[in-house]
C-alpha cells in the first residue's frame, strides 16, 4: 500500500536557477514519512512521546525533472521492508503541475530509544508493529 502527500512548492525552497534546490526533496520525503504515519492512524508525535526515535540510516535520490516555485507536487510513499527494528521506504515525487516524475528515492531508518539503542517495535509498541506488517502485506 502507498500513501500520497501533496502540497505546493514554496519560493524559499528555490535556488538561483529558479528551481527547487535539491536538498529540499529530502525534506519533502520526511514530510511524507510523517504524513504516512498520520494516514496509518498513528501520529509520529505519539511515537516520540513513548521515547522512540526514528533516525535516518540512508537516503538515495534520483532526480528526473525539476519542480518550480508554485508547482503542486505529490510524494507517493511505500513501505518496502520491515524487520521489526529497521525499515525502508521508496518514494516517487511527481510534479502534478507539469505532469512529470521529478524524483525517485529510497530511505532506510530504524527505531531506537532516546539514547539511540535499537528498539524492537513488536515489544515496545505492538500496535505500530502490526500497522507496519499490514502495510507490507498490501
Residue 55: predicted pLDDT: 96
Nearest alpha-carbon partner for 13 in 59, 62, 52, 68: 68
Q: Is 97 helix (H, G, I), strand (E, B) or coil?
A: coil
Strand partners, 14: 20
**For residues 65 and 71, what is the distance between their CA atoms, to the nearest angstrom?**
12
Domain definitions of the chain by residue range: 2-137
Banded pLDDT at 137 (limits 50, 70, 90)? confident
- 15, 18, 38, 130: which is the annotated catalytic residue? 15
130 is catalytic: no
Tell which residue, 18, 23, 27, 22, has the closest CA to residue 71.
18
- For 56-92, write each residue's pLDDT tens digit: 999 999 999 999 999 999 999 999 999 999 999 999 9
Counting every residue, how long is the chain?
138
Question: Does the pLDDT at position 138 exceed 80?
Answer: no
Percent of the chain scoring above 70 in pLDDT: 100
DSSP letter string over 69-92?
TT-EEEEEEEEEEE-SSEEEEEEE
pLDDT tens readout for residues 3-38: 999 999 999 999 988 899 999 999 999 999 999 999
> Helix (H, G, I), strand (E, B), or coil: what is residue 126?
helix
The architecture of the domain spanning 2-137 is Roll (3.10)
Q: pTM for this structure?
A: 0.94
CA distances from 72 to 27, 67, 83, 95 (A): 15, 8, 34, 6
In tens, the pLDDT along 33-53 reads 999 999 999 999 999 999 999
- Average pLDDT over the chain, rounded to an integer: 96
Amino acid at each position: 500500500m502507498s500513501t500520497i502527500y501533496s502540497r505546493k512548492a514554496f519560493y524559499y525552497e528555490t535556488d538561483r536557477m529558479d528551481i527547487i534546490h535539491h536538498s529540499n526533496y529530502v525534506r519533502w520525503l520526511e514530510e511524507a514519512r510523517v504524513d504516512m504515519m498520520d494516514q496509518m492512524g498513528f501520529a509520529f508525535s505519539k511515537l516520540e512521546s513513548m521515547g522512540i526515535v526514528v533516525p535516518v540510516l540512508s537516503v538515495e535520490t534520483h532526480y528526473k525533472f525539476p519542480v518550480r516555485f508554485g508547482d503542486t507536487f505529490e510524494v507517493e510513499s511505500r513501505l518496502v521492508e520491515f524487520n521489526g527494528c529497521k525499515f525502508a521506504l521508496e518514494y516517487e515525487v511527481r510534479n502534478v503541475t507539469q505532469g512529470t516524475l521529478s524524483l525517485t528515492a529510497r530511505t532506510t531508518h530504524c527505531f531506537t530509544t532516546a539514547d539511540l539503542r535499537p528498539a524492537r517495535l513488536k515489544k515496545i509498541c505492538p500496535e505500530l508493529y502490526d500497522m507496519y506488517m499490514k502495510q507490507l502485506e498490501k
